[in-house]
């Protein structure tokens, strides 16, 4: 399932072919949206953004296509008229002069004007985006210390999009490992230094994943393991998916537990479990 960095890269690909281009044709696979096809056709795409797992495509004239990826939604970029090999249902197709942007499978799609978009229930409850360059570690630190969140377990907070948007299951394990925090603690149990380390890792790890195409391990480890002939699957993460393997810092066995309904990987020694 895509997390913030994967969503952002998908939005980047869409922006590269759609931004400032005129939509030559817009088609929807969902009947209630068909009335908008003629309204959006001929308009220019003025903004491509992602918020949480939603892609937002704003058109001249003020309408925005909101498309939440849900579990299976997937965007493709093709030369105009091209189609990927897939049995999925086509939900949105936007043709520019040279390209087609295609959304398959997702069904939570709507067209909103400025006011109704601002009130959208999913967007309204999202916390700050981990990949937003305007968010700094101080803001995350204050969030961790705030009454709204500090009694909750970190394992639950780091899956809650109202705490931080864009963190999902692999980022949760990787952030807590890099910050050396016991995943069973609550924010309340952290001292100031813990909070600071966790806040920094909360931004640094998703940003690294975005820049590297999904790698959260340190550049030094990646170089070393790559030079030793290891495949990407072996060096991509610090701990995620590595149950029973030696910790890359201390050599102890990586553990796997279920927390807040999802699998979480951690080093019992480095994270003081
Ligand atoms: Zn360790």
Residue 37: active-site member? no
What does the angle CA 64 – CA 67 – CA 73 come to, to the nearest 5 degrees? 155
Distance 239 CA to ligand 1 centre (A): 9
Q: Helices 137-145 and 192-212, interaxial angle, to 10°?
A: 130
Tell the residue number behind the tokens 């817009």, with chain if given.
26
Residue 221, Cβ density class (10 Å: 0-12 exposed, 13-18 middle, ≥19 buried):
middle
| Choice among 180, 186, 234, 262 that is catalytic | 262
Q: What is the dihedral of CA 111, 113, 119, 125, to 10 degrees?
A: 60
Give the model's pLDDT for residue 223: 96
DSSP label at residue 272: T
Q: What is the pLDDT of residues 184-207, one digit of tens each?
A: 999 999 999 999 999 999 999 999
Please compute the mean of the pLDDT values over residues 215-226 and round it to a whole number.
96
Distance 22 CA to ligand 1 centre (A): 53
- Determine the straight-line distance between the first and last CA of the chain, rounded to whole angstroms: 28
Give the model's pLDDT for residue 71: 82
What is the rounded distance in angstroms from the CA atom of residue 180 to the CA atom of residue 273?
10
Q: What is the pLDDT of residues 54-104, one digit of tens each?
A: 999 999 999 999 999 988 899 999 999 999 999 999 999 999 999 999 999
Q: What is the pTM of this model?
A: 0.93
Residue 2: active-site member? yes
Q: What is the pLDDT of residues 1-41, one digit of tens each?
A: 789 999 999 999 999 999 999 999 999 999 999 999 999 99
Q: Which domains does the chain have, with CATH numbers?
A: 4-125 (3.20.190.10), 137-266 (1.10.8.50)
Distance 152 CA to ligand 1 centre (A): 25
Residue 98: active-site member? no
H helices of 66-130, in order, are 114-118, 121-125
Contact 59, 132 (CB under 8 A): no
Nearest to 3 by CA among 208, 151, 179, 142: 208
pLDDT surpasses 80 at 50: yes
């Amino acid at each position: 399932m895509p997390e913030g960095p994967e969503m952002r890269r998908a939005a980047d690909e869409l922006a590269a072919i759609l931004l400032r281009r005129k939509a030559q044709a817009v088609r929807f696979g969902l009947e209630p949206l068909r009335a908008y096809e003629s309204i959006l056709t001929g308009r220019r795409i003025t903004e491509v953004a992602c918020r949480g797992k939603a892609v937002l495509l704003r058109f001249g004239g003020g309408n925005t296509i909101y498309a939440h990826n849900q579990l299976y939604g997937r965007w493709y970029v093709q030369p105009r008229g091209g189609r990927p090999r897939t049995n999925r249902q086509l939900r949105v197709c936007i043709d520019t002069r040279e390209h087609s942007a295609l959304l398959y499978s997702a069904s939570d799609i709507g067209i909103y004007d400025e006011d109704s978009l601002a009130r959208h229930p999913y967007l309204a409850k999202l916390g700050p985006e981990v990949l937003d360059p305007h968010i700094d570690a101080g803001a995350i630190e204050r969030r961790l210390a705030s009454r709204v969140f500090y009694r909750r377990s970190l394992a639950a907070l780091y899956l809650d999009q109202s705490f931080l948007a864009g963190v999902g299951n692999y980022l949760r394990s990787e952030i807590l490992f890099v910050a050396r925090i016991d995943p069973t603690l609550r924010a309340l149990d952290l001292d100031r230094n813990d909070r600071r380390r966790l806040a920094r890792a909360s931004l640094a790890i998703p940003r690294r994943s975005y820049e590297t195409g999904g790698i959260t391990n340190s550049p030094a480890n990646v170089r070393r393991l790559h030079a030793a002939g290891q495949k990407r699957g072996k060096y991509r993460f610090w701990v995620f998916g590595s149950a029973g393997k030696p910790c890359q810092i201390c050599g102890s066995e990586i553990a796997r537990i279920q927390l807040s309904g999802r699998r979480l990987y951690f080093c019992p020694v480095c994270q003081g479990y």
